[in-house]
Amino acid sequence: MSGFRHSTAGRVDRNKPVRFSFDGKTYQGFAGDTLASALLANGVHLVGRSFKYHRPRGIVTAGSDEPNALVGIGADEAHYAPNMRATQVEIYDGLVAESQNRWPSLGFDVGAVNETFAPFLSAGFYYKTFMWPPKAWAKLYEPLIRRAAGLGRAPTQADADRYTQVYAHCDVLVVGSGPAGLAAALAAATTGGKVFVCDEQSEMGGSLLAETTATIDGLSARDWVARALADLAARPNVTLMPRTTAFGWYPHNFLGLCERITDHMAKADPKLPRERLWQIRAKEVVLATGALERPLVFPDNDRPGVMMAEAARIYANRFGVKPGDKAVIFTACDSAYRAALDLMAAGVAIATIADLRAAPCGPWIDRVRSAGIAIRAGTVVTGTTGRLRIDSVSLATVGIDGNPGSSENIACDLLLMSGGFTPSVHLFSQSRGKLVYDEALQAYLPGISVERERSAGACRGIYDLDKVLSNGAASGTGAAKAAGFAAADTITFSTTADSVGTDGFIGVTPFGGPSSKARAWIDFQNDVTAKDVRLAIREGFRSIEHVKRYTTTGMATDQGKTSNMNALGLVSETLKVPVPQVGLTTFRPPYTPTTFGIFAGQSRGDMFDPLRKTPIHDWAAEQGAAFEDISLWKRAHYFPKRGEDIHAAVARECKATRGAVGIFDASTLGKIEVVGKDAAEFMNRMYTNAWTKLEPGRLRYGVMLREDGFVMDDGVVGRMATDRFHITTTTGGAPRVLSMMEDYLQTEWPGLDVWLTSTTEEWAVIAVQGPLARKVLEPLVEGIDLSREAMPHMSVREGRICGVPTRLFRVSFTGELGFEVNVPAGYGRAVWEAIFAAGQPHGMTPYGTETMHVLRAEKGFIIVGQETDGTVTPDDAGLGWAIGKAKKDFVGKRSLARPAMTASDRKQLVGLLTVDSKTVLEEGAQIVADPAQPIPMTMIGHVTSSYWSATLDRSIALALVRGGRARVGTRLSVPMPSGPITVEVVEPIFYDAKGARLDA
């Protein structure tokens, strides 16, 4: 024995010393230590400050249920992870850990002044204190709360680690590798089924790793574990997954597992990811998740040195660590007696065992008594002392009246507590299984299953080793059988282990009655005391869901693993209703905090979203284009020349296109090929327009509605042949248009002979627009007569351009003479460059989406999604002319006949001209009739598009205004923070109203 480390006991590797630092100080541990065990071996109990009162806190547990020992891990900010449980962190050479929620140091923390204000920080203090005045929220309360709340701090640099995601299928997934899980895995494995076994700990074996006396099949528990794991590892149908937490259950036996791969390594292979998300579809699941020891609730039960009895046993037996020199034990069950004997063997003096029970008896009690340890029955802890570590405990016997008598003070540096065990039903509950309260065990147990799973061992309230093993084996066999694998023989086990019974206690120990001023912690992590819960009940909260949210008990990162049942017990006792009537809060994923990294996986940075680029993208990039994101596409926004800002560039591009010729990449337009003998009939039904009489070689602007009558999409459609249409859709709308078309075709009109094919990425689309467009293209085309007479506006011809097959549209979204050259995408850039070269003598200018927007707005052409918002009818948008009046039916037609759709005060598309021509309105700005009216004003519309028009040397805007067409010629107002802007309502067309230019 040296210091607090036993010379031989435990599973740590004494040949491999490990140096690590905590709060800047260097310590030594051994390979196999957790940060918690290594700190305890160095005599360090104080590891953190509490959430609200900044109380000094120590290590309470030895597992993932740890509420106090939360630390920040990482030598640099790019590898820093806050709120790691020291009880799960495996140490390695060079590990850097720091405590949290303290300043300037753990030993002296200014925040502890909150203790003084404790009377003002009672349950619901957030709701009571930070209410008034409202303006103080943004400036005072929220920053204050944000600084005070939260245990860890976010790292200041982006996460440098990689995370991966994998999918897997198996026949049987066993969650947990304690005795039940191992027995289940062995039984399932012998059937030949594909078995996965996961465990959140670094070593498999669960509670057996800390077992020193029990034997299984004539072997010590540890040797049996080693044999079982070797057996499983040798089977090709078994996958063992240590350091892997099953954190979430999702429908249809789909589980999320987080495998920690490099966190325990001093020097990890850079090829390895830090963590791996396993998404496993298991035919059957065996939950062997064990049970968590419950703390006891008594005054000042949160001092460093107050620890769970079983945790102390684990530190002694598994890690060879002595958690203190002199211990007092406070218990309501037999397992703490077993712990007392193991700790005594490890060199801890046991001052006394205070047992809440009036008359504890049984083999463990007898053994303790014969070991010479004093047992005090019917005794409670009435208080503790010690600033940064416990130094004494007050004990008192509970009298017949239920209240404690006079206290006796006992010096100690360790207080171990045990209120019995709570089955870990988290995953079962997440799977929507119904929990049933067991009065005898004072525990919720798995009841009726909804998914294909079964619970085995302690997580279903079975604690005795022989029963746990046989239950585990039966579960493994049953699961394999349900997955279609027959079991050969029943596996049996012979064990020697004494039962520790099933006693326990929930609620608050009787240390002083309901009016006691003492503070007894229920939820360590969120700093919730019994007094807080009682106050909430006095203030009228009844449901545990409400008590939870008001007091925040069970709402911390540990999700109430150690606190929920005691809170339930207290509410039950105070309200004098049985526990099941109090209710139970819902268990939700994740079981333990899980990094965002594994959910993001590879989807970070450039991989965050797919990126779509047109065939002409690289050319635009080489020309120095500025790009904008349109759905997943990158589109050239404008092409700035040296020294130009967006306004100058767009003004130049507009003038060049109207004055000579511009070239624009329209490849992102959605495209669908509609083919079949019923293609025209299909088009008739899908679009508002009439298609039957549209001749091959002609184009038509089509409007598509949803069945509710509102505009869904629009685009120019070419009839290539009697049975073939080339549809274009909006850039963002292509998938939903195709999906809606498929829906009607497959489910409403399956008899139509029509085939739909997405051709968006098959065609590059080069728009050549402007009075000189024909001159540029004429020398490049073969087999197409581009003359005004041979190829009028809204026509399409097939032929060749620059030697490449083309569908050449004569169409204009600018109001100028225009063509859209469709060529196979692979030729897109070559044809673009050829046209651009041919256009140079004519002053051809590339333009981007911003200029496209300005030019179309000057002509009053709408953009679906900008002038429409899902509540706009064709008539609202000024597209009444596009409705085939003679058609008996089309999608949305019936809805257009509803009274509300024809009301005269609907919002209608109009143009707006600011009285001050230099003022450009803000898109989205609201419109009112009278800016002098009191606030809140009656809003009668909004600005949908607004630009500076270089062509007109003034601002223009489009807007949707209630009864707008009747307001043409009147003035309205756009109130802005700087004052109202007066506008004149005009027809929504600002340039070449007669359309002479596009007919040129």
Q: How far is the CB of 784 from another protein (least distance, A)?
A: 35
Q: How far apart are CA 147 and CA 64, in angstroms?
A: 26
Q: How far is the CB of 28 from another protein (least distance, A)?
A: 46
Q: Are 828 and 762 in contact (CB under 8 A)?
A: no
Q: How far is the CB of 759 from another protein (least distance, A)?
A: 15
- Residue placing its CB nearer to another protein in the complex, 542 or 887: 887
User: How is 780-804 classified by DSSP, letter by letter?
Assistant: GEES---STTTS-SSEEEEEEETTE
Cα–Cα nearest to 65, from 189, 201, 218, 179? 201
Give Cα 96 to chain centroid, integer Å.
28
- Residue placing its CB nearer to another protein in the complex, 601 or 931: 601
HEC assignment per residue over 851-864: HHHHHHHHCCCCCC
- Residue placing its CB nearer to another protein in the complex, 576 or 888: 888
In a 3-state reduction of DSSP, which class is residue 824? Answer: strand
- Residue placing its CB nearer to another protein in the complex, 122 or 895: 895
Q: How far apart are CA 275 and CA 485, in angstroms?
A: 32
CA distances from 844 to 63, 659, 665, 834, 856 (A): 71, 10, 14, 12, 19
Q: How far is the CB of 971 from another protein (least distance, A)?
A: 37
Q: How far is the CB of 737 from another protein (least distance, A)?
A: 14
Q: Report residue 877 as tokens.
A: 């948008």
Q: How far is the CB of 893 from another protein (least distance, A)?
A: 7
Q: How far is the CB of 483 from another protein (least distance, A)?
A: 14
Q: Are 511 and 404 in contact (CB under 8 A)?
A: yes
- Residue placing its CB nearer to another protein in the complex, 494 or 739: 739
- Residue placing its CB nearer to another protein in the complex, 252 or 994: 252
User: Which residues is 799 bridged to in the sheet?
Assistant: 806
Q: Report residue 916 as tokens.
A: 């001050």
Give Cα 88 to chain centroid, integer Å.
23
User: How is 24-45 classified by DSSP, letter by letter?
Assistant: TEEEEEEET-BHHHHHHHTT--
Q: How far apart are CA 779 and CA 377, in angstroms?
A: 106
Q: How far apart are CA 607 and CA 128, in angstroms?
A: 45
Q: How far apart are CA 926 and CA 935, in angstroms?
A: 13
Binding stretches for another protein (CB under 8 A): 167, 250-254, 279, 281, 432, 450, 707-708, 739, 742-744, 746-748, 750, 888-889, 893-895, 897-899
Q: CB neighbours of 920 closer than 8 A, spacing ≥ 6? A: 914, 946, 947, 948, 955, 957
Give Cα 660 to chain centroid, integer Å.
53
Please report where in the chains the tokens 């329209």 appear, as a residue.
666
- Residue placing its CB nearer to another protein in the complex, 366 or 748: 748
Burial 253-282 (b: 16+ CB within 10 A, else e): bebbbbbbbbbbeeeeeeeebbbbbbebeb
- Residue placing its CB nearer to another protein in the complex, 14 or 898: 898
Q: How far apart are CA 43 and CA 59, in angstroms?
A: 11
Burial 505-517 (b: 16+ CB within 10 A, else e): bbbbbbbbeeebe
Q: How far is the CB of 607 from another protein (least distance, A)?
A: 17
Q: How far is the CB of 831 from another protein (least distance, A)?
A: 32
Q: How far is the CB of 277 from another protein (least distance, A)?
A: 13
- Residue placing its CB nearer to another protein in the complex, 93 or 742: 742
Q: How far is the CB of 706 from another protein (least distance, A)?
A: 10
- Residue placing its CB nearer to another protein in the complex, 206 or 433: 433
Q: How far is the CB of 287 from another protein (least distance, A)?
A: 18
- Residue placing its CB nearer to another protein in the complex, 253 or 849: 253
- Residue placing its CB nearer to another protein in the complex, 28 or 758: 758
In a 3-state reduction of DSSP, which class is residue 553? Answer: coil
- Residue placing its CB nearer to another protein in the complex, 194 or 652: 194
Q: How far is the CB of 258 from another protein (least distance, A)?
A: 16
